Amino acid sequence: MTGVKILGVGKCVPEGRLTNDDLAKIVDTNDEWIVSRTGISSRRIAAGEPTFHLAAEASKQALERAGLKGEDIGLIIATSITPDYYTPSVACMVQREIGATGSMTIDVNCACSGFVYGFDMAKRYLQTDDSLKYVLVVSAEELSKITDYKDRSTCILFGDGAAAVVVERKEDTLYSSYLGADGNGAQFLMARNVLGKNPLGREETVIDEKMPEGNGPYLYQDGKEVYRFATRVLPMVTKECCQKAGIEPGDIDVIVPHQANFRIIETAAKNLKLPMDKFFLNLSEYGNTSSASIPIAFCEAIEKGKVKSGDKVCFVGFGAGLTYAGVIFEY
């Protein structure tokens, strides 16, 4: 199989910590409820720095660890649901910051599945374009921008952060992916753009019938529906990736899942008949950082020696859309 070799991984998370006790001062909640229902203890929250800044810092670290310079990168794939601008893209802002002038730049919005979609796109570009040597995939989110800190059912979940990987093509290596979406579940997890006001004074037709009125730009979530979806697709996607790769789930060395909720991952582990120590988790410290959660966790897993050269690694994500995505590769 043609796959990818990871040359460098980097991350950047804001300094500011928001603990469960901090949140208990803002909304009617407590540490015990949050930890027992989600596994989250604290999250990092940006203090004014833009999303693209986190993306650029994570990218610089990944480049340095890869022993490359910005100008070596031929394609930047950035993923975010919380960019600073409608336009230009996060990828263009990162390109400017790292000096990758002339590279292709693409932004991907697949919510929490974004990094896995971007990683698989990188592999496909590398496989079909011989002139392309190195691709940077960077995921950066500031969920604090679209979190309603009056809504206790969502504000306990989300945090900010970014991470990046630099990859090149690798022949004769393990690689499989399984990606998809179910737009019928779109209304279970949404955040609205500004309502359109055109010069003819026509009001935009609003289709988000489930979202409470006056929700503004904040994330709306039907937690139970998303929970049901997540516990179904996590094992399904992992099994599909294994089948395509010709391996069994037990052959995977490390699974890096989307860091949404400890209970979701525990349920998936049971379904897959795998021990929890196959899964790398850091959600206790960072909460759910949407598309950045898998690469932040992957970066930490490498730093802590939990992922070693030659390991079979599985990334598996799910999120708004509703989207799902998995890849298996050899590190």
- The catalytic residue positions are 112, 258, 288
Closest approach, Cβ 33 to ligand UT7, in A, equals: 4
The stretch among 34-42, 48-56, 116-124, 159-167 that binds ligand UT7 (CB under 6 A) is 34-42
Among candidates 141, 140, 159, 139, which has minimal Cα distance to 149? 159
Q: Which residue is nearest to ligand UT7 (CB)?
A: 223
117 vs 175, beta carbon nearer ligand UT7:
117
Token digits of residue 17: 């910590």
Closest approach, Cβ 208 to ligand UT7, in A, equals: 17
Closest approach, Cβ 24 to ligand UT7, in A, equals: 8
The DSSP code sequence of 223-277 is HHHHHHHHHHHHHHHHHHHHHHHT--GGG-SEEEE--S-HHHHHHHHHHHT--GG
Question: At what angle are helices 223-245 and 262-272 packed, to 10 degrees?
Answer: 40
Q: Out of 131, 205, 224, 309, which residue is the one contacting ligand UT7 (CB under 6 A)?
A: 224
Q: Which run of H or E residues covers position 3?
A: strand 3-12
Encoded amino acid at 252, one letter: I
With binding defined as CB under 6 A, does residue 114 bind ligand UT7? no
With binding defined as CB under 6 A, does residue 219 bind ligand UT7? no
Residues 141 and 238: their CA atoms lie apart, in Å, by: 25
Q: Out of 94, 112, 234, 283, which residue is the one contacting ligand UT7 (CB under 6 A)?
A: 112
Task: Mark residues 36-75: x for contact with ligand UT7 by CB under 6 A, - for none.
Answer: -xx-------------------------------------
With binding defined as CB under 6 A, does residue 323 bind ligand UT7? no
Query: Is 161 in a helix, a strand, or coil?
Result: strand
Residue 194: count other Cβ atoms within 10 Å of its Cβ.
9
With binding defined as CB under 6 A, does residue 230 bind ligand UT7? yes
* Contact between residue 322 and residue 179 where contact means Cβ atoms under 8 Å apart: no
* Contact between residue 246 and residue 185 where contact means Cβ atoms under 8 Å apart: no
The DSSP code sequence of 47-93 is SS--HHHHHHHHHHHHHHHHT--GGGEEEEEEE-SS-S-SSS-HHHH
Scan residues 239-278 and list those touching ligand UT7 (CB under 6 A): 260-261, 264
Token digits of residue 157: 């979940």
Closest approach, Cβ 158 to ligand UT7, in A, equals: 8
Closest approach, Cβ 286 to ligand UT7, in A, equals: 13
Scan residues 153-212 and list those touching ligand UT7 (CB under 6 A): 153, 156
Q: Would you tell me which residues interact with ligand UT7 (CB under 6 A)?
A: 29, 33-34, 37-38, 112, 152-153, 156, 223-224, 226-227, 230, 260-261, 264, 288, 290, 319
